[in-house]
Chain A
Amino acid sequence: MECKKVQDRLINEYVDKELCPEENNEVKGHLAACLDCREFFEEVQRSAVIPFKELVEMQPDGVVWQRIQETIETERSRSWNGWRQLADALVPLLRMPQPVFRVAFVMVLILGGVIFAKWPSSYADPVYGYISEQMAFMTELQAGNTDLSNGDLKDYDAAFEEIGA
């Protein structure tokens, strides 16, 4: 391996132990034989690695937690105030005089009735069908048609015949 390539590894992957074992051994072998690269590696260690070994974890001043806590509490009380404002807006509605509620209740009933009447309800269809059927039956009877094929009516025919007999 050339010195340039070795030095590229020395400054990064070798010093940070990020090389695969084969490449690591290759660099190690080169270092043992090359004075320039050994000096280069010592320089890397002295200037760019060892000074940072002295880095220790520090602790923030107690005031930082106090500020965090205060900010969170302020935000919470602001959000609580938002709910309170909504409640304050709704409470006067509940305190309105009773006649206002009665009028509103009647209006709601009328509105509901209108909507229900206009709504294409599935409940309305069988009722409408039954009434139409009965009207057609009455029309046929009036016209004197006795040959009615409606299954429901056959029982009535038999009943009528029994009464007649």
Chain B
Amino acid sequence: MTQTAPILLTVDGLTKAYPGVVANSDVSFTIAEGEVHALLGENGAGKSTLVKMIYGLVRPDSGSMTLRGAPYEPSEPRAARADGVAMVFQHFSLFDALNVAENIALGMENPPPQSQLAARIRDVSETYGLPLDPAAIVGNLSAGERQRVEIIRCLLQDPKLLIMDEPTSVLTPQEVEILFETLRKLSAEGTAILYISHKLEEIRNLCDSATVLRLGKVVGTCNPREKTATELAEMMVGQILHVPVRAPRDVGDVVLEVKNLSAESPNAFGTSLKNVSFTVRAGEVLGICGVAGNGQDELLAALSGEVRADAGAVLVNGTPVGALGPNERRHLAILAAPEERLGHAAAPDMSLTENALLTGAIREKLTNHGFLKWPAIRAFAEKVIEEFDVRTPGAGNAARSLSGGNLQKFVVGREVLQRPDVLVVNQPTWGVDASAAAAIRQSLLDLTAEGAAVIVISQDLDELMEISDSFAALNEGRLTEPRPALGLTINEIGLMMGGAHGMEVAHV
């Protein structure tokens, strides 16, 4: 990228405070036309708030912005779009029941009639190598295709600045390559890209410059290509990380055996499980990767007992448990920690004490003929809080008052402390800061050292590489044959995850 390109956007001293936290404090940086600029930082560093201010979703408390030399104060996203700023969200703002063309029309100020729009969608999607059928119902699309809808929606407006919030978290490595090709092409045509991520290799691969945020402040600006990943990580985290210790493993007998497990998804747009088979031995961690929405929730539900299957489809120590409910499985020491913390793993408005009862009633013997033993429940909640370093004023506080990371520690801790023989966790460190994530991973490894079988479902490949003994991938409800984790390359994992999904455009 040429360094002489004119400045497109200047952000000067933006500050935004919420009750209790300063999300952004005096943030300044510039983006040149055609530049791919990274915004780097941990979860909670203030990246999202910053881009929401640029996109007009949040108004800064103080500070100013200029776009192509003119003052820029978008009062709403519509104004931002009118000024040529477009954004692709991390959690897509799409409408499942509407078709692609309708979704795209909703993101445009003056959409042409549907027939012309469909033609333009085909046009743009061919130009940038993002094939898409305008008449398809969005709810039936894969995560990668859904992202294309968002991107094309932005591109149809000829943006000068394209904001991408964690775009690769839902993509296979191969799909990431396709996306990067598209972004490079856009950049070459003069579109600036503000690229938000915490994935260091991606940023070194794609971006021309980077602004690093920590706790809402800019802690550095650099050219990421001139830095090593470790240097970037240290800028981002501000400390040397504690990497989990892998105790030498004595892998024991098979504890969990899943045989030809098929289960209908409870959701209309969910993914049903198809013939899933695998085994996990005592002391082993099975890592299951896959792009979001390929059956992760369904697999957890089938293992926890929320969704029942054939009795013989799930065997624990030889006992068929496939038809049992969650509490019957808890009696047999099969525990689970779902991905969605608020509303699934925990009830948001209930206290931590009440949330401890949610899964602890059986194994911790917290009831007596159905009557609740409140002192014992409180003691169990306090034990989780203490042993997992959950930061909260007390067990009487509502679950929703905790930060994501703290609640995650509570949710994982609650299961780990119940001495499971089999533990299934989905996205154990999603949205958790680096040190808490390391602590959670360590607790899972400690559990295996005591002879438990652990299944970690995650979209974070680095995490899985770090703790897994064997590795499998979910793809449209099917699970690949588990392989030993040692020696797997990222390319092999990508092929496991996506197969040839979306590969037809790899030539672009």
Is chain B found bound to chain A in the same assembly? no
Chain B positions within 8 Å of A, measured between CB atoms, are: none
